[in-house]
Amino acid sequence: MIKVIVPATSANIAMGYDCLGMAVNLFTSVKIEDADKFSITGCDEAFQNEDNLVYQGFIQGCKHLKREVPTISIDIQSEIPESRGLGSSSACIVAGIIGAFEYFKEDVDKDVILQIATAMEGHPDNVAPAIYGGLCIAFEDSNGHYDVIKYPVDDSYYFTAVIPDFKVSTNEARKIVPKEVKTTTVAHQLSHCLAMLNALSTGDIKQLKDAIDDRLHEPYRKKLINGFDEVKKIVEANDSVVYISGSGSTLIIISNSSDRRDKIIEALQKRFEKFSIKNVEIMN
């Protein structure tokens, strides 16, 4: 029996659209065993078929290893909510690929896993931190190969996930983002992304608040998240910052004080009773 555990991921981190992400301590756990008949258990019945992303990842892993796909049973237990911007699909893809490597007792080469997973997912912002952990950026070189750089995050920061009781379609969230932007917007995003990475590494909350000023996707995607403006108002009143995790609907709050974090959580719980609010940690 093979067991693979993969963390949830929060992509974009506001300023790093489609390239930056971090791993957090919510997990998908997958068990893979030989079986007489193919089966999937543990997840919603709608995903208990051969289109399941864990199984598709397993197939792609087998193809890379040039091995015949065996008949297996898969059990999926996940803390990561579906379609909430916390990388549930990426966790499944990565778990399936790693599962194939471990099934055939092959070394799990993170770089190889990243290339396969990115080809499946289409962008590396979730799969990279799911594989490497921590806060990282993935970029494509001139040969079409994806490389990863990890960045430190200062221990003074507290992270909180605000998970609404509704889903946001990734396809719908992508459609709403403009296909073309002004060069001034590009310059703004680049400069603020670099400042944000510095602020995250140094613990400079003032610089972090100045740096997180997304003009590429938040102004459009926030329309899909009921309550976004109110959450942001509560967060900013407590000297903290908030961004849309992936395509939403989850929001991630960053504070540099447990007191501020607790005040924000108390206010949000009173206003949004149906939202799930969790303190999360970066998984390195």
Look up the CATH number of the domain holding residue 103.
Answer: 3.30.230.10
| Span 111-118, average pLDDT | 97
108, 244: one domain: no
Burial class of 258 by CB neighbour count within 10 A (0 to 12, 13 to 18, 19+)? exposed
Which phi and psi (to 5°) does residue 173 adopt? -65, -30
- Residue 86 marked as a ligand binder: yes
138, 163: one domain: no
| Span 129-143, average pLDDT | 95
- Tens-place pLDDT, residues 208-228: 999 999 999 999 999 999 999
Q: Which domain holds residue 269?
A: 158-280
Task: Return the pLDDT at 184.
Answer: 96
Residues above pLDDT 90, as percent of the chain: 92
- Residue 249 marked as a ligand binder: no
| Span 16-32, average pLDDT | 95
- Residue 221 marked as a ligand binder: no
Neighbours of 63 (CB within 10 A): 13
More confident residue, 247 or 100: 100
| Span 109-135, average pLDDT | 96
Neighbouring residues of 21: CB distance < 8 A, sequence distance ≥ 6: 9, 10, 11, 12, 13, 87, 125, 126, 128, 129, 135, 136
Neighbouring residues of 22: CB distance < 8 A, sequence distance ≥ 6: 9, 10, 13, 129, 134, 135, 136, 153, 282
- Residue 87 marked as a ligand binder: yes
56, 137: one domain: yes
Which tokens belong to 214? 């997304």
- Tens-place pLDDT, residues 40-98: 999 989 999 999 999 999 999 999 999 999 999 999 999 999 889 999 999 999 999 99
d(CA 172, CA 191) in angstroms, rounded, equals 28
Task: Return the pLDDT at 284.
Answer: 87
- Residue 245 marked as a ligand binder: no
More confident residue, 207 or 176: 207
13, 111: one domain: yes
Task: Return the pLDDT at 59.
Answer: 98
What's 193's domain CATH number? 3.30.70.890
Task: Return the pLDDT at 95.
Answer: 98
Task: Return the pLDDT at 172.
Answer: 86
Task: Return the pLDDT at 32.
Answer: 98
Give, rounded to a whole angstrom, the gap between the first and last alpha carbons of the chain: 26
Burial class of 50 by CB neighbour count within 10 A (0 to 12, 13 to 18, 19+)? exposed
- Residue 83 marked as a ligand binder: yes
Task: Return the pLDDT at 242.
Answer: 98
Task: Return the pLDDT at 164.
Answer: 95
| Span 264-271, average pLDDT | 96
Average pLDDT score over the chain: 95
pLDDT of residue 196 exceeding 90, the answer is: yes
14, 144: one domain: yes
- Residue 88 marked as a ligand binder: yes
Burial class of 211 by CB neighbour count within 10 A (0 to 12, 13 to 18, 19+)? buried
- Residue 276 marked as a ligand binder: no
170, 30: one domain: no
**Which residues make beta-bridge pairs with 10?**
22
146, 170: one domain: no
d(CA 30, CA 47) in angstroms, rounded, equals 14
Q: Supply the DSSP symbol for 46.
A: G
Task: Return the pLDDT at 212.
Answer: 97
272, 215: one domain: yes
Task: Return the pLDDT at 170.
Answer: 84
- Tens-place pLDDT, residues 154-170: 999 999 999 999 999 88
d(CA 84, CA 163) in angstroms, rounded, equals 7
Beta-sheet strand order (sheet of 158-163): 241-244, 251-255, 158-163, 276-280
- Residue 90 marked as a ligand binder: yes
